[in-house]
Structure 1
Amino acid sequence: MKRMISRTAMGLAVAALAVGGLATTAQAAPAAAANNGDPTLTDVYVWATDVNLRQQPTSESPRLAVRSQWWADAVCQTQGQTVRDPAVGTNNWWTAVQEFAGSDIAWVNNLYIRGGQKIAGVPDC
Structure 2
Amino acid sequence: MKRLIRRSAITLAVAALATGALATTAQAAPATATGGDPTLTDVYIWATNVNLRAQPTTSSPVLAVRSKYWLDAVCQKQGQSITDPAVGTNDWWTAVQEFSGSDIAYVNNLYLRGGQKIAGVPDC
Instruction: String of CA shifts for 1:45-104, please: whole Å, max 9, x gaps.
Output: 110000000000001100011100000000000000000100100000000000125321
Distance 1:122 1:59 in 2: 22
- 1:104 maps to which residue? 103
Distance 2:102 2:73 in 1: 12
- In structure 2, runs of 5+ residues without a counterpart are 1-28
**Matching of residues 1-125 of structure 1 within 5 Å:** 31=30, 34-100=33-99, 102-125=101-124
Q: Which of the pair has more CA radius of gyration?
A: 2
Q: Quick check: 1:73–1:101 contact (8 Å CA) kept in 2?
A: no
- 1:24 maps to which residue? none
RMSD: 1.3
Amino acid corresponding to residue 56 of structure 1 in structure 2: Q
Structure 1 position 34, deviation (Å): 2.9
Distance 2:100 2:77 in 1: 20
Which structure: greater helix fraction? 2
SS state at 1:104 partner: coil
Distance 1:56 1:72 in 2: 17
User: How many equivalent pairs are there?
Assistant: 96
Distance 1:97 1:32 in 2: 18
Amino acid corresponding to residue 39 of structure 2 in structure 1: T
For normalisation by structure 1, the TM-score amounts to: 0.73
Amino acid corresponding to residue 121 of structure 2 in structure 1: V
For normalisation by structure 2, the TM-score amounts to: 0.74
Amino acid corresponding to residue 123 of structure 1 in structure 2: P
Distance 1:94 1:34 in 2: 21
SS state at 2:101 partner: coil
Distance 1:72 1:31 in 2: 11
SS state at 1:43 partner: strand
Distance 2:31 2:117 in 1: 24
Q: Percent identity?
A: 77
